[in-house]
Amino acid sequence: MSPDPIERPVVRPRRLRTTPALRRAVAETSLEARQLILPVFVREGLSEPKPISSMPGVVQHTRSSLLAAASEAAELGLAGIMLFGIPEHKDAVGSAGVDPDGVLNRAVADVKAEVGDALPVMADLCLDEFTDHGHCGVLDAAGRVDNDATLEVYAEMARAQAAAGVDLVGPSGMMDGQVAVVRQALDGAGHTDVAVLAYSAKYASAFFGPFREAVDSSLQGDRRTYQQDPANGREGVREALLDVAEGADVVMVKPALAYLDVVRRVRDAVDVPVAAYNISGEYAMVEAAAANGWIDRDAAILETLVSIRRAGADLVLTYWAAEAASRLLR
């Protein structure tokens, strides 16, 4: 007796996967140059770019090499360039961060003069690169980060960056009320068109390690009293909602990969653009695995960035921004 014939499936999802062109046609998530922001480091006193050992392919820029990177970013149609400055001298209150002639404010002016309105120029608004203790704010007599005293410095930084020509400031220190203070400082100085990209849900992550080399961090202790606990998702949404209420034009989740659930929840909760930062440790893991021949580097980069977009990020800060955009344009 012959066996019963196998029932053939009527619904065949594989039909839409048969060719590359068909897969592109039905792709749910896009990855485009206009969604990618390039973070860059500029270090005072360098005569040539300095490689960052834990981030292969990333350097601390000189003023001139920074302009070349910015020009390339503009030509590629990136969503922006995020500047981080590394001064020659640090002090307890981060004076170089508010100095109009400090490395970061000079970099903003240089890049703005180079690219004009062809590329949004963004600047990190935080004290950790400028303080000799490495914290994101000024310390009180007991050695704790003083939230409200730090806000006064952030307001001064915002005015200095705006005067240099920045398009978006990125308050990243996770101080309570930072967005409201920055917005008020900008508006009070007549910089009403300068936007605020708020680091709203920034976690105390182990994946920040290579960044500390990138900015020559002098951190003493940790940042757990102001950055978020990795165990908390709802809190990330709460922080984002508070920042929107205080005037944030864009909110951000940082890091990205270990917090894709938070990206999704924030995207569902707010009505402003959402960014996510594909940070240094995430970058370094892919580069290290690829260097050992364990993964396909090019495929892993694009899959990583698509995953962040799929989770709900409108904008992705990534050290692969220029490389990925170049590949997408081919």
pLDDT of residue 3: 72
User: Does residue 16 form part of some domain?
Assistant: no
**Residue range of the domain that includes 118:** 31-328
Read off the pLDDT of residues 210-250 as tens digits, 9 standing for 90 and up.
877 776 677 676 788 889 999 999 999 999 999 999 999 99
DSSP string, 110-154: HHHHHHTTSS-EEEEE-STTTBTT--SS-B-TTS-B-HHHHHHHH
User: Global pTM?
Assistant: 0.95
Mean pLDDT: which of 87-91, 120-124, 142-146 is highest? 120-124
User: Does residue 230 form part of some domain?
Assistant: yes
pLDDT of residue 6: 84
User: Does residue 90 form part of some domain?
Assistant: yes
Reading the block at residue 115, the tokens are 């690219």
Mean pLDDT rounded to a whole number for the chain: 94
Question: Measured between alpha carbons, how far is 321 from 255 in angstroms, rounded to an integer?
Answer: 16
Q: What is the CATH number of the domain that holds 72?
A: 3.20.20.70
**What are the backbone dihedrals phi and psi of residue 237, each rounded to the nearest 5 degrees, phi first?**
-65, -45
User: Does residue 235 form part of some domain?
Assistant: yes
Please indicate whether residue 50 is annotated as part of the active site: no
- Which regions of the chain does DSSP assign to beta strands (E)? 36-43, 50-51, 59-61, 80-86, 121-125, 168-171, 195-202, 250-254, 274-278, 315-318
Which of the following is catalytic: 50, 90, 112, 202?
202
User: Does residue 4 form part of some domain?
Assistant: no
Question: Measured between alpha carbons, how far is 120 from 193 in angstroms, rounded to an integer?
Answer: 12
User: What is the number of structural domains in the chain?
Assistant: 1
pLDDT of residue 330: 76
pLDDT of residue 97: 95
User: Does residue 1 form part of some domain?
Assistant: no
The gap between the terminal CA atoms of the chain, to the nearest Å, is: 59
Quick one: how far is CA 171 from the chain centroid? 11
**Region 21-45 average pLDDT:** 96
Phi/psi-derived region of residue 121, left when phi > 0, alpha when psi is between -120 and 50, beta in every other case: beta
Please indicate whether residue 112 is annotated as part of the active site: no
Read off the pLDDT of residues 152-211 as tens digits, 9 standing for 90 and up.
999 999 999 999 999 999 999 999 999 999 999 999 999 999 999 999 999 999 888 787
DSSP code of residue 85: E
User: Does residue 68 form part of some domain?
Assistant: yes
Tell me: pLDDT of 302 over 80.
Answer: yes
User: Does residue 10 form part of some domain?
Assistant: no
pLDDT of residue 223: 83
The SS3 call for residue 36 is strand
Q: Please indicate whether residue 219 or residue 317 has the higher confidence score (pLDDT).
A: 317
Quick one: how far is CA 193 from the chain centroid? 21
